[in-house]
Structure formats: C-alpha cells, structure tokens
Chains A and B, each alone.
Chain A
Amino acid sequence: MYRMEVKLQDLLISSRRPRSPNIQIYRPQLTSVLSIVHRITGLTLVIAAIGLVGWLIAAADGPHAYGVVHNALTSAAGRIVLFATTFAFFLHLCGGIRHLAWDAGYGFELRTIYSSGWAVVAASLVLTLAAWITDLFMQG
C-alpha cells in the first residue's frame, strides 16, 4: 500500500504532469490565499518559537548573554524581523479563531467566508500596529 503510493508520486513528479488542483493556472482567491498563509505563518512561528527558547536560554545564562540577544532584537534588523513576526502571529491567531468557528459549525456561507477572511486581514493589521504603537509609548 505504502510502496504503491510512493511509486505513483515518483511517476507524477518525473513525468511533470499537472497535479490537481492546478495551482499554477488557478486564479488566487482570498480563501485559498488565506489557507496557505495560515500554513506559512505557522511555519514562521515555529522559527519564532525556537527564538523564544534561545532567548530564555540566553537569559538563564546571565546578564551578558541576555544583553547580546536584547541588543540584537532591538537593532533595526531585529525590529523589522520582530514586526514581521508580530504580523505573522496575529494572522495565525485570527485565522485560527476563524478555523475554530468553522469547527463549531459557523460561518460556512460564501458571503460569511469572504467577510470573515477580510476581517482576519484587517484585524491582524490593526492588532500588529496597535501592539507596536503601545510598545513605542511604553518605551517613551
């Protein structure tokens, strides 16, 4: 069973036949884009999770290591990475809540799927900006 599956996959890849769904010729839609964005942000947050552990290990090591990591995170490049990570976090959080609503059986009408999709995008942008503006005020 498993071997057959592997051979079929190899055949499909080697013959370069189009695979269903033909995403290379498929017009991107909000629904499909948000679906893959949920995976991509999930993977981004895996890297952030590794960074979180690295940050804690540095802090456990002592003030020097903590300072090195803190300076890296508050540098211009560090802030850009953290800003992108914050946006990925809120996209995954809001997208996840949308998924939980679907799991509970709500929001399957086409209109609702689009309005909840745009709500995820808007809420993620607003929450990311709100978090960073609050952070600026806390530092200032």
Chain B
Amino acid sequence: MSPRQMRTALGRAAGLGSAKEGVRHWWRERLTAIALVPLTLWFMASIILHSSNDYAGFVEWLKRPSATFMMILLLVALFSHTALGLDVIIKDYTHSRAKIPALILMRLTCSGLLAAGVLAVLRIVFRQ
C-alpha cells in the first residue's frame, strides 16, 4: 500500500487538508515504528546475552553477519523514526523564527549520527 492509497477519498477529492501534507510523514513514522519493534528487541536481547563479554567478545558478536545486518538496519530505522518524531515536536512547540533553523539542524544532526553510527559499525567489522 502506498501513501497515496492511505489518503481518504474525501481528502483526495478536497485536494489536501488544511496542512496540505502529512500522509507521507504519517506513513513513514508507522513503517519505521513497525521495523523498530523487532530491531530494538533484538538489540536489547543481544546486549543482555553479551553484556558479560569483553571487547574481543563484543567485536566477535558484531562481526557475525546477522548482527552487522541487524545493527545497520537498527541505526537506519532508529534515526529516520527519530527525525520524524522530532519534526512533529519542533513544529508543535516552536512558534518563532527559530523553527526552520531548528528543523534543519535536527535533520542534519540525525543524518550525521546515522552516518557516524554506520561507519563505526563498518570499522569494527572490517578491521583486520
């Protein structure tokens, strides 16, 4: 199902509501939320199972292809969900000129954190 189909018949006929947008945001927030249910539970279970491990044990765990795969998916879903959530919070509570700069700063920070997280995982996994 695409975001276009999620829009009600009335919404389509009236040609957008007062906000003029929002279906895509709403849909992505749900998709990332659903993805994060197994990903975050996997992460928590893995941390509990490997919490007694030292550094070598941690690296060995993250080097497993399934763990690398899940960790990168977790970072992608987590930071897109974070950006979508913070987007709503900033728009709800910022009523000054600071709104647009805050949105830009938030988006760039989320992208930067995602890139940094994925790079860190790759460095750990591919180090000789």
What is A's interface to B at a CB cutoff of 8 Å?
Answer: 5-6, 9-10, 13, 39, 42-43, 45-46, 49-50, 52-53, 56-57, 59-60, 63, 66-67, 86, 89, 93, 96-97, 99-100, 103, 131, 134-135, 138-139
Chain A residues, Cβ within 8 Å of B58: 59, 66
A66-B58, A89-B40, A135-B51 known, 20 other contacts, Cβ within 8 Å: A6-B95, A6-B97, A9-B96, A10-B95, A42-B85, A42-B89, A45-B82, A46-B82, A46-B85, A49-B82, A56-B117, A56-B124, A59-B124, A89-B44, A93-B37, A96-B33, A96-B37, A97-B37, A99-B33, A100-B33
Find out whether the CB atom of A138 lies under 8 angstroms from the CB atom of B49: yes
| Given A100-B33, A131-B48, A49 contacting B123 (CB threshold 8 A) | no
Beyond A89-B40, A100-B30, A135-B51, is A57–B116 a contact (Cβ under 8 Å)?
yes
- B contact patch SS: helix
Residues of B within 8 A of A (CB): 30, 33-34, 37, 40-41, 44, 48-49, 51-52, 55, 58-59, 62, 75, 78-79, 82, 85-86, 89, 95-97, 113, 116-117, 119-121, 123-124
Q: Establish whether residues B117 and A53, one from each chain, have CB atoms under 8 Å apart when the complex forms.
A: yes
Whether the Cβ atoms of A59 and B82 lie closer than 8 Å is no
Q: How far in angstroms is the closest Cβ of chain A from B121? A: 6
B103 → chain A closest CB, angstroms: 14
Q: Are A138 and B52 in contact (CB under 8 A)?
A: yes
Least CB separation from A5: chain B residue: B95
Give the docked Cα–Cα distance between A93 and B33 (Å).
Answer: 9
Q: Which residues of the partner chain A approach B85 to less than 8 Å between Cβ atoms?
A: 42, 46
Distance (Å) between the CB of A19 and the closest chain B CB? 11
Cβ A6 vs Cβ B96 within 8 A: yes
Task: Give 28 CB contacts A-B under 8 Å.
Answer: A5-B95, A6-B95, A6-B96, A6-B97, A9-B95, A39-B89, A42-B85, A45-B82, A46-B82, A46-B86, A52-B78, A53-B113, A53-B116, A53-B120, A56-B124, A59-B62, A59-B124, A60-B121, A60-B124, A63-B55, A67-B55, A86-B44, A93-B41, A96-B33, A99-B33, A100-B33, A131-B48, A135-B51
